[in-house]
Structure 1
Amino acid sequence: MGAAPDVWKPVIAELDGTPVLVRVDTDVTAVYDLATGERVGVPLQGLFGAMSATVTRLDGRSVLITGSSDRVIRMYDLAAGEPLPTTMTGHTGVISHLAVVEVDGRKVLISGSDDSTIRRWDLATATQIGEPLTGHAGRLTAMSVVGDDRPVVLARGYDDDAISSFDVATGAPAGPPVPAVQDNITTVALPGGLAVMSTPDYGQMLFVDLRTGARFDHGITDRMYSSTTAAAVVGGIPVLAVSSYSDNTVQLRDLRTGQQVTAPLAGHEAPVRHLDSLTVDGRTFLVSSSSDRSIRIWDLNTRMGR
């Protein structure tokens, strides 16, 4: 699917029950249906300074939300391709990460910035909720939101050696810091609860409970060095997707046994730099972007025969 930005990874989200991909670059910011690869709404051109984006449904219309280098959060009517009058301000650095979740019946926008804060916004009123969340050091390098009933936001800063987590509803820490040395944050809903991948030493891989820090057993015994990862449960099987820099493929490994569950995902012509997954209505998609400036979408249920 088209060209990927050199630096900013694509974002995947859910829009009206449809998994979509949001691509941000200096020329065109566009949304794509993950299942068909077709564009959703009107591509928006000339969003100078846009560094991050996500989508949601608000007041009966599909809305694109962007964060930019001028520290302003803006919203656009995706169907019309027109800006909405509401903006949100408060960050003092580049807004590099955005996500939307539902908490207690209201839609909450979560924004992460180079100012070492994460902020929560009530989208219905465009007002900030509570105080900024702090706990990571330096420029925000990774942010992830996981959980449906009680969402948790995870963050890692440039100067951190651990992942911090916060309860979205209360802003309080959701659990102990999780040691990590990789920039990407990999989460998965395992039978025992929400888990995050931890790499306390280069190459060592653990999965730990977000709220307690307790370890989950897994079957992958080999060490992983500088690999990009994502995780999901596909047809009841917990799967870890791992990039292979030697042949530009992505391996799918059963977390219970460590074995590959299907042939490697091949097609990229350069190393895969970003992986992400999304499950909607029982179907799981994996999105990979590469240094070859391409974005590829994989239907994991089809690949695994589930």
Structure 2
Amino acid sequence: MIHADPDRLFPTLDKVGGQWAKCYRTAYLASGEEFSRAVPDVRRWLLQVHAARYGATGEPRLESEHDAWRVAWAGGMQWNEQVRPSWDNQTGGVCSVAAGMVGGMPVAITGSDNGVLRSWDLRTARPLRERRLGRYPVETVAFMGDIVLVPYHGRLEAWNPVTGESWTFDAVHQAWPLATVKDVGRFLILTVRYDTVRVRGGRRVWTVGHGAAVNGVATVRLDGRKRIVTCGDDATVQIFDLRTGKRYGEPLTGHVGPVRAVATAHVAGRPVAVTSGEDDTLRIWDLRTGRQRGRSVPGRVTAVATAEVNGRSVAVAGAAGRRGRVWDLRTGEEWGKPLGESGRGIATVGHLAVTCASSGAVRVWDLRTRRSRPLPGNPRVGAVALGVAYGRPVVVFAYEEGRWFGVKDLADGTRHSGKFTSQGSLITAVATATVDGRCIVLAAGGNDGLIRTWGMETGEIQVLSGHVGAVHALAATGSTAVSGGEDGLVGIWDLRTGESRCAVSPCAIDAVAVTGRTILTGGSDGTTRLWDVRTGERLGSLPTGVVHAVAVEGDLALVGGGGLRLWDLRDGRDRPLAGHAGAVTAVAIRGRQAVSGGWDRTLRMWDLRTGKQTAPPVRFPWPISALAWHPDGQLVVGISWEIAVLEPGPAAAFGSEPEAG
């Protein structure tokens, strides 16, 4: 919902400055449906999608003579928040959480098991932005002012969770947990690797030795100086000077066994630390005296954070399978009603707490009232495929991070009535193949390395095994299917005979396409490779950078990643196609025509002979995550939770028939 006066939403932005204030206002308007109100073209497209979903009511289509596309029908749950699932029915879902203030707005950041960062406005519990880092879990997130820092597979990612700006810094050693602290007007970054805390600031880098594996790090002001508080496997809590790295006082002892978590606060002006250990106790320490305050609190705790509520300093603690509890740090007694389960993490900002259950469910709690709201899961339509069942074209689509998918008639969007079930299996990739005139759906997901096939007309289920680890991508042509995943194997399957073979890639495979005798794979090492479908022999490679999507037809391949590149397979030449402002996550080719979409929320149309766009970009209210183009001209677009099927509009530069590839 948009407030009538946007200035009232951002009362503290004047401290940031006029230009930044405009930036934050614009970014807030640019989230979800709010974006549509700020950009008239997007508003019109949003209304087109909405009208198409209720086309049976006779609502007019809001199209113009300048449209290259018009919405034929749409489906999904984007418009009804009441039926939008929370993280409770996700597999894994969120595995890290942080909270802070950005431009005067309380914001939560969640990192998912499959490498996606999301930001949330905690006042409304609505999503703001999201960014994909890769396919691996986001283990830790930390705020540094208005910026979020994430150590991710040898690099440090910086992201503004409101504006969407991002930066990447290479050559950062794999390290967690991570914390930041502001000292003498500059931010310092604290990372942990085994028994060493590394402090980075400007050109200075210094380390603090702990003597055993460090499991948690926090900062606190003590005796007028910033200090680092650490806990580790040696059953101690230790304090170090932030500027010199020298130990402050003696180690705090009392836990029996490793200390797993630490948080700091001030109680009546005195600095304290709250720690939890494998001895199933929660302890409160006076950091000036080094002594424990009060008795140990029995109970298993794996995550702890501190907050201040109506002048009262409290600790919020939780563990897997157990409800979170709130403790008064002055008295050491439990305060108020318990919260929800929070085994995967707790973060606090002001009087709000964000809890992440071991199931991945995330909720925001008002610690004053103990009321909560879920942060609704937002898995996009991560994969779409086209097929023919019972003589009619159908579209198969899977919700990324979800355990369900849908099959609909391509012509009118009616639900397919075939014998089709996911049997509760996680699905992240889908494809369709034709065997003896019948449509076979292939689906893969999870870490079991299995590919499941369903006969759409017969309901017959089979399992293809061979991969070790998650399968990230599937593609098919005729009765031949191709798969790629974490193990670097390119699986080639003959669905008619059941025979299979494989090629070996030097890295994990994130995207696959196949046509005729050619396979293209996008590798996690930033290289797109070409393979012979009959022999598995490698035919060539191209350093394209990160790869999210690949499409190939004839002798042309389109690779989407950090940008968009067109690869001519005949002579090996490639060229960038400029236009997208951000990652390209979906591509499709039809003859010598192509479409692409990505995080900039635009759908762009290309003439592959000239490399130029053939029409103005279509601006959607959400990022485009999947594309499939039917030979008859219908275009299936996955946008957030929506499936929209587009038809060529009055201004389309496409003919009704694709050119020969």
Tell me the distance in 1 between the aligned counterparts of 2:359 and 2:210.
Answer: 41
Match for residue 74 of structure 1 among 217, 227, 238: 238
Tell me the distance in 2 between the aligned counterparts of 1:32 and 1:199.
Answer: 29
CA deviation profile, 1:105-134 (whole Å, cap 9, x unmatched): 111122221222221111111111111233
Tell me the distance in 1 between the aligned counterparts of 2:273 and 2:228.
Answer: 12
Q: Which residue of 2 aligns with 1:93?
A: 257
Asked if 2 retains the 8 angstrom alpha-carbon contact of 1:54 and 1:64, the reply is: yes
Match for residue 197 of structure 1 among 354, 361, 376: 354
Q: Which residue of 2 aligns with 1:272?
A: none
Cα shift at 1:101: 1.2
Match for residue 24 of structure 1 among 178, 192, 195: 192
Determine whether 1:146 maps to 2:288.
Answer: no
Tell me the distance in 1 between the aligned counterparts of 2:270 and 2:242.
Answer: 21
Tell me the distance in 2 between the aligned counterparts of 1:151 and 1:17.
Answer: 26
Tell me the distance in 1 between the aligned counterparts of 2:582 and 2:330.
Answer: 38
Q: Which residue of 1 aligns with 2:338?
A: 177
Unaligned 5+ segments in structure 1 are 228-244, 248-263, 267-306
Tell me the distance in 2 between the aligned counterparts of 1:77 and 1:186.
Answer: 25
Q: Higher relative contact order at CA 8 Å, sep ≥6: structure 1 or structure 2?
A: 1
Correspondences of 1:1-306 after superposition (within 5 Å): 1=156, 2-5=172-175, 8-13=176-181, 15=183, 20-26=188-194, 28-33=196-201, 39=204, 42-45=206-209, 47-134=211-298, 136-137=299-300, 140-147=301-308, 149-158=311-320, 160-180=321-341, 183-189=344-350, 194-197=351-354, 205-215=362-372, 221-222=376-377
- Tell me the amino acid that sits aligned with residue 177 of structure 2: K
Tell me the distance in 1 between the aligned counterparts of 2:241 and 2:285.
Answer: 18
Asked if 2 retains the 8 angstrom alpha-carbon contact of 1:32 and 1:39, the reply is: yes
Tell me the distance in 2 between the aligned counterparts of 1:46 and 1:171.
Answer: 28
CA deviation profile, 1:221-243 (whole Å, cap 9, x unmatched): 5567989xxxxxxxxxxxxxxxx
**TM-score normalised by L of structure 2:** 0.29
Asked if 1 retains the 8 angstrom alpha-carbon contact of 2:319 and 2:343, the reply is: no
- Tell me the amino acid that sits aligned with residue 192 of structure 2: V
CA deviation profile, 1:226-269 (whole Å, cap 9, x unmatched): 89xxxxxxxxxxxxxxxxx999xxxxxxxxxxxxxxxx998xxx
Structure 1 residues 162 and 10, CA, compared in 2 at 3 Å: closer, same or farther? same
Structure 1 residues 10 and 212, CA, compared in 2 at 3 Å: closer, same or farther? same
Asked if 2 retains the 8 angstrom alpha-carbon contact of 1:208 and 1:215, the reply is: yes
Asked if 1 retains the 8 angstrom alpha-carbon contact of 2:196 and 2:214, the reply is: no
Cα shift at 1:39: 4.5
- Tell me the amino acid that sits aligned with residue 25 of structure 1: R
Tell me the distance in 2 between the aligned counterparts of 1:188 and 1:9.
Answer: 19
Cα shift at 1:208: 2.8
**What RMSD in Å do the two structures reach over aligned CA positions?**
3.8
What SS class does the counterpart of residue 147 from structure 1 fall into? Answer: strand
Structure 1 residues 19 and 114, CA, compared in 2 at 3 Å: closer, same or farther? farther
Cα shift at 1:79: 3.0
Tell me how many residue pairs correspond in the alignment: 218
**TM-score normalised by L of structure 1:** 0.58
- Tell me the amino acid that sits aligned with residue 173 of structure 1: E
What SS class does the counterpart of residue 369 from structure 2 fall into? Answer: coil
Q: Which residue of 2 aligns with 1:260?
A: none
- Tell me the amino acid that sits aligned with residue 26 of structure 1: Y
What SS class does the counterpart of residue 312 from structure 2 fall into? Answer: coil
Asked if 2 retains the 8 angstrom alpha-carbon contact of 1:12 and 1:19, the reply is: yes
Asked if 2 retains the 8 angstrom alpha-carbon contact of 1:204 and 1:223, the reply is: no
Cα shift at 1:156: 1.5
Q: Which residue of 2 aligns with 1:278?
A: none
Bigger share in helix: 2
